[in-house]
Structure 1
Amino acid sequence: MAVSTIPAADLRTFSEYLKGCKRILALLGAGISASSGLPTFRGVGGLWRSYDATDLATPEAFEANPDLVWQFYSYRRHMALKAQPNRAHYALAELARRNKDFVTLSQNVDGLSQRANHPLSQLRLLHGSLFTVKCTSFYCSYSRENEFADPIVPALAIPKNVPEPKPSTDDKTGEEASKSLYGTLGVSEGEELDISDDRVPLSPLSPDVLPHCPECKDGLLRPGVVWFGESLPSHTINLVDSWMKSGPIDLILVIGTSSRVYPAASYVDKARARGARVAVVNMDRNDVGSSGLNPGDWFFQGDAGAIVPEILKEVIGEI
């Protein structure tokens, strides 16, 4: 892994401040997963380049073509399981174990924080998880978390004639990780892949072979992610808001996200209103969110997988 250079003065002032912090919030975005070589949602690559990913991530798409949507999400699950949690995931998990007043709010659905053994009681998922499933029957409330079986049912196994996704181990941005996946299919960036191409056929699947609810025996299971047109989980938002209002906040860590999209963007301002200083870890110095940086805040530029363990080392030790 490439080592990101952290200015010594910034590291020293941050480390000293961190040692005195009690209540800490971390806001995570796709940049922390890019350090594991996992591409962003729109950069999922491969045969899915011929689809607009946003058209597959809706309740309407699932109702019309549950087999197509499940094949898309099965591919994403498989890709996420090919990737491994990086040192940033492990560092945040260790901080959570050492500090019960530390809460992580993740916008990621890839399961990497869970697989790094981040204490679940201190991990809040704003957009759900690829590894949660829930029943679509109106009369059934069944759901199951941390379902890491791959494939979830035999019919959703990656076809043998589709090359295995290979998360990048060298490139640290979502864009570069996506390129590595496009390359497995011999597709260059910007080139459209025709779905009729016989290298990557997609076969229709009968609803009978898709994941079904073990409780009601009738409803189809769906991925437990927040689709376009759906509300964010009110339970998660209420828990985080309640925690934020329960006392002063010392620090908010903004890792791998521009924090420009609401409601995620609002958490920086909310934390500041409770007294928090801000530390941003991002590849792009211009991506510090709509709130910008105040005097006394920190910006650490580079790969989250290298920087996060380093800036937390004074409290958590070596990772």
Structure 2
Amino acid sequence: MPFIEHDPTDMNSFKAYLKQSKRILALCGAGLSASSGLATFRGAGGLWKTHDAMSLATPNAFVKDPSLVWQFYSARRQAAFSAKPNPAHLALAALAVKNSDFITVTQNVDGLSPRAGHPPLQLQPVHGSLSTIKCTSVFCNYIQYDNYDMALTPALAPAPERSSNDAEAAPANIPVSDLPHCPKCTTGLLRPGVVWFGESLPAHVLSEIDEWMEDGPIELCLVIGTTGMVWPAAGYIGQCKEKGARVAIINMEIDDDPMLGGVEYADWLFKGDCAQILPQILEPVIGTMDQVKELLGDTDHFPAPTFQGGPFTETTSKESQGTGYY
């Protein structure tokens, strides 16, 4: 643990600093959505206990067995779309509404932040989104954003409850003809719009984050529910510190994981559920949760889908390789 002159668990000192902070960056991971009931990527259960989830998150896996990969991601889509944004998502959304100089860099792909009412221009999803689908054909540029259909084809419809005896049975072998196909070119297979191992992170997202960080000093960095060890996102903690930011870490595993990223930069360490802690520590700016809900209005809805027909371009560099984390 770093030496910290003040009590790193003192919410009052944090709140006092928050009230005078303008430019704030939040780096979020799977812990943000834990209270929404979503398992982490490596924690996928049920029939996926017998599969290495990381091995499914590659372009080669999709080429080799698109049926298996689509069933895995369809199950993840159904879990994410059935979940509800929790108070942590709402608190960050309210902070973004209150402060136009606040951005959230999220490693999550569950789509709960936009559903919480987080302003899209202040949300940077570095690993893509489960609600994005795109054509795999090199001759087609079709992309759909904010697709929250529970089943993209009848073959991917939610499975009935399994008994304990068959909960780990092998997934069905779905014919390619029954998997999601592109409505534009009609021949290409669709795939989830998430970043897989070996793929580059979205160039426009990285550029927007870099432009924001270069735009002036940064007062505060919130590291929320993430190990802070997945690059390049983890590098933002140190970059914020170099720009003058003080760092607050909110995580369930502060004492349990000595390698937790960002701890060496920490000014505050808040151990516990993000859904409980964030509304408390951000209250001086966002108000009570009743006020947050009044500010955000009805967030229990899905954003309208949008389409893109132009080229989907990415830049590939060693520093911007996808983690396949989701």
TM bracket (short chain):
0.7 to 0.9
Relative distance call for 1:12 and 1:213 in structure 2 (3 A) is same
Q: Which residue of 2 aligns with 1:74?
A: 74
- Residues 283-306 of structure 1: CA distance to partner in whole angstroms, max 9, x if unpaired? 1224474443457x1111101000
- The answer to whether the Cα contact below 8 Å between 2:254 and 2:260 also exists between their aligned partners in 1 is no
One-letter amino acid of the structure 1 residue matched with residue 28 of structure 2:
L
Aligned partner (choices 263, 269, 273) of residue 292 of structure 1: 263
Q: Does 1:245 align with 2:214?
A: yes
Q: Which residue of 2 aligns with 1:315?
A: 285
Q: Which residue of 1 aligns with 2:135?
A: 135
Alpha-carbon shift at residue 209 of structure 1 (Å): 1.8
Runs of 4+ more than 3 Å apart: 197-201, 286-291
Identity of aligned residues (%): 53
Partner-residue secondary structure (3-state), 2:36:
coil
Q: Which residue of 1 aligns with 2:319?
A: none
Structure 2 alignment gaps of length 5 or more = 1-6, 290-326
Q: How do 1:104-253 residues align onto structure 2 when only pairs under 5 Å count? A: 104-160=104-160, 162-163=161-162, 186=164, 197=166, 200=169, 202-253=171-222
Alpha-carbon shift at residue 9 of structure 1 (Å): 7.3
Partner-residue secondary structure (3-state), 1:35:
helix
- Residues 148-192 of structure 1: CA distance to partner in whole angstroms, max 9, x if unpaired? 1101222101222x44xxxxxxxxxxxxxxxxxxxxx548xxxxx
Could you tell me how far apart the structure 1 residues matched to 2:14 and 2:23 are?
A: 15
Partner-residue secondary structure (3-state), 1:205:
coil
- The answer to whether the Cα contact below 8 Å between 1:28 and 1:255 also exists between their aligned partners in 2 is yes
Could you tell me how far apart the structure 1 residues matched to 2:69 and 2:194 are?
A: 12
One-letter amino acid of the structure 2 residue matched with residue 256 of structure 1:
G
Q: Which residue of 2 aligns with 1:94?
A: 94
Cα RMSD for the two superposed structures: 1.9
Which TM-score applies when normalising by structure 2? 0.82
Relative distance call for 1:291 and 1:91 in structure 2 (3 A) is closer
Relative distance call for 1:11 and 1:208 in structure 2 (3 A) is same
One-letter amino acid of the structure 1 residue matched with residue 235 of structure 2:
S
Q: Which residue of 1 aligns with 2:61?
A: 61
Could you tell me how far apart the structure 2 residues matched to 1:310 and 1:291 are?
A: 21
